[in-house]
Structure 1
């Protein structure tokens, strides 16, 4: 279809310039309409016509990328919270997809009163149909004794 539009654009421009060259009231009148129509059509086609090689490659690339299903979100499960003995929160992230994916995992470190000390949102790469163990360090080692619990969002959001 792009080739037809480009061919139409070329002949439309050719007719428009011939009509303008022919002159005369009848030639100008019908030439103006046909030239105007070709020009309007040429503007919309011409804009993409100038980028035709890019458009063709984009059109060619699009169907292959559209055939892949969108990524599903994964799951995240807290294995252990950070403590003075082990300053890492450990989370298992599961990828339900048939291809490798990157997920955002959200972990909150809470104190004894339930206030959030630190909120994190880390990206974790997980192979297709697999589970990865991710360890997140507590930012301030001096505050480890203040952590009462960790909370993990059970939904690991698929990024790419």
Structure 2
């Protein structure tokens, strides 16, 4: 009886060692992956030990180059990508003057997502000559309007500005 019990324990331990080694060599590819991931090697005497070690190694996203994974990152198809942004509109609210050194422009976003638009403003003198030509970027929430103010105090020529012109097309940055 003593020999039979000892033989049974030896056989069970041998089976667990074989399963653990089989899991290391075929399931993980590098032999130490289950130890690093806290995998269940040797914790079961059934055939699931090697597949459990394989699954735990695959799900940790380790750096093993030849470890196959069962998950893939879906790539969006052309029909799932967002449509190109439409240009917005810009309307002059007020021009800069010595009393208020800011030009105020209202920018409208027709898109269903937030966007950044380039707004062009020309500051002209009494003869119609362009004194300053700006192109500023303005962020506007989806389907909304933003009021944007352009500071002119630093130019030193504020009293020479007779009028402002805004390009009505606010170009969407693509």
Q: TM-score range by the shorter chain?
A: 0.5 to 0.7
Q: Which residue of 2 aligns with 1:119?
A: 133
Offset, 1:67: 2.5
Q: Distance in 2 between matches of 1:118 and 1:101?
A: 26
The structural deviation recorded for 1:69 is: 1.1
Task: Say yes or no: does 1:148 pair with 2:171.
Answer: no
Q: 1:68, CA displacement in angstroms?
A: 1.1
Partner of 2:111: 97
Q: In angstroms, what is the RMSD of aligned CA positions?
A: 1.9
Alignment of 1:2-17 (within 5 A): none
Listed as ranges, the gaps of 5+ residues in structure 1 are: 1-55
TM-score between both structures, scaled by the size of structure 2: 0.55
- Once residues 101 and 109 of structure 2 are traced to their aligned partners in structure 1, the CA distance between those partners, rounded to angstroms, is 26
| Number of equivalenced pairs | 103
Segments of 4+ in structure 1 off by > 6 A? none
Report if the CA contact (8 A) 1:87-1:141 is conserved.
no
Any conservation in 1 of the 2:102–2:153 contact (CA below 8 Å)? Answer: no
- Flag the structure with higher strand content: 1
Larger relative helix fraction: 1
Counterpart residue number, 2:85: 71
In structure 2, C-alpha distance between the alignment counterparts of 1:106 and 1:117, rounded to whole Å: 13
1 CA distance for matches of 2:114 and 2:143? Answer: 8
| CA distance in structure 2 between the aligned counterparts of 1:65 and 1:146, rounded to whole angstroms | 53
Cα distance in 1, alignment partners of residues 123 and 102 from structure 2: 11
Select the structure with the greater relative contact order (CA < 8 A; seq sep ≥ 6). 1
- Which segments of 5 or more consecutive residues in structure 2 lack a partner in the other structure? 1-71
**1:61: Cα distance to partner?**
3.8
After TM superposition, give the deviation of residue 80 of structure 1 in Å: 0.1
Q: CA deviation at 1:63?
A: 2.4
Is the 8 Å Cα contact of residues 125 and 160 (structure 2) preserved in structure 1?
yes
